[in-house]
Chains A and B, each alone.
Chain A
């Protein structure tokens, strides 16, 4: 699914300018535990999280995660945004809960990252 479509489905707002909205995202994962993300995230994945500290971006960098969506209207601080810009990882803020966000994306056809399929 294209990042553009994801943003539409979750009614999100891009927090980092200059984002390539045509970027293809292979699967999504929702987690507030960074070790979980490191354990199951696949390259080119979307991360949905309620955490907004810079370590979220660091985790995404290590795991080659393509973009991050913050749930429940949470907004990261300038430090997190600056690191995301430096690493070229788009940040998106969206209003829904993690549950609703996952549901919306799943319904729209987004694949899950914890499946051992070929999408990674």
Chain B
């Protein structure tokens, strides 16, 4: 699972990155009159495996370590580069994306591609190694950006100062949308994770929100709204709908009491445990309902210590493995 998005990101980068971002800019070049023996020293000192050949600023060839080996075999080590270089030069444009270079490497089986600007002037040189380095660097930057955004999210309550700062997440829940059930609660859980809430708090909020979301899906006529209000010290979940309403709240609160239809029971829900579960996860819970008008469920979960103190947050002292302190 973790590998798939990474590969996609690399594919994206190959298309996004211009060649000029990854190429080597300070190109070491030789003249046509340079001897193969001199070339050997140039390649050795600069730790490179090939170089473009320039004559009067114009690209006239490309010579590589392979040409040098062939010259050595033939005892031709003092020949000028012009006699041993390749004159069919495949170039790439600086502004093109890396994918164009990847295509040319595959098509022409060359080890390096001279990079030219729109006037045809040599501005850089590109090898497979340059591409790998460029991609790694770009991924590194991406990773860094992700880290920064996580850091910023964690410190949102410290950075934004007011008398009362809160984040309100609002979700519209459709009636009988069983397959979408839990989508809103999942997003709330993720938001809390980004904000650096302790896992125990994330879990209590997620379970309470999920039960409330499923109730809206199972029992309402027209669905309802799920709202999460996140404050530094407290998280409030409010689920509201406009019908049909609960005739007897006390009865509804009894664990095991259920009015859910059979089809929902077969799917593993509607056992009459939802409200009991919510109560168990919350620090306080308020259920108001009027038949024919609607229902409002408010769940409060305290965050202690404050949500924005990041990594140093410890689990609530009273959590002995049970859900509720």
Contact = CB atoms under 8 A, between A and B. Distances in A.
Interface of A: 16, 18, 32-36, 38-39, 42-43, 49, 51, 53-56, 58-59, 61-64, 79, 85-86, 88, 116-120
28 contacts: A16-B1, A18-B2, A32-B268, A33-B273, A35-B277, A38-B207, A38-B211, A38-B273, A39-B277, A39-B280, A43-B199, A43-B203, A51-B268, A53-B268, A55-B178, A55-B181, A58-B181, A58-B182, A59-B182, A62-B186, A62-B203, A62-B207, A64-B203, A85-B1, A88-B1, A116-B322, A118-B321, A120-B321
Interface in B270-305: 271-274, 276-277, 280
Interface residues of B, number: 30
Given A34-B269, A55-B268, A116 B320 contact: yes
B157 interface: no
Interface string B178-190: 1101100110010
Q: Which of B1, B181, B206, B271 is the most central at the interface, judged by chain A CB atoms within 10 Å of its CB?
A: B1
A3 to B, nearest CB: 15
A40 B211 CA distance: 14
A49 to B, nearest CB: 8
Given A55-B268, A64-B199, A79 B321 contact: no
B318 to A, nearest CB: 13
Contacts of B322: 116
B1 A33 contact: no
A104 B85 CA distance: 73
B267 interface: yes
B268 to A, nearest CB: 4
A111 to B, nearest CB: 12
Contacts of A88: 1-2
A38 B268 contact: no
A34 B214 CA distance: 11
B237 to A, nearest CB: 13
Give 3 nearest A-B pairs by CB, closest first: A58-B182, A35-B273, A62-B206
B3 interface: yes
B274 A35 contact: yes
Given A51-B267, A117-B321, A35 B189 contact: no
Contacts of A117: 321
A72 B2 CA distance: 30
B2 A35 contact: no
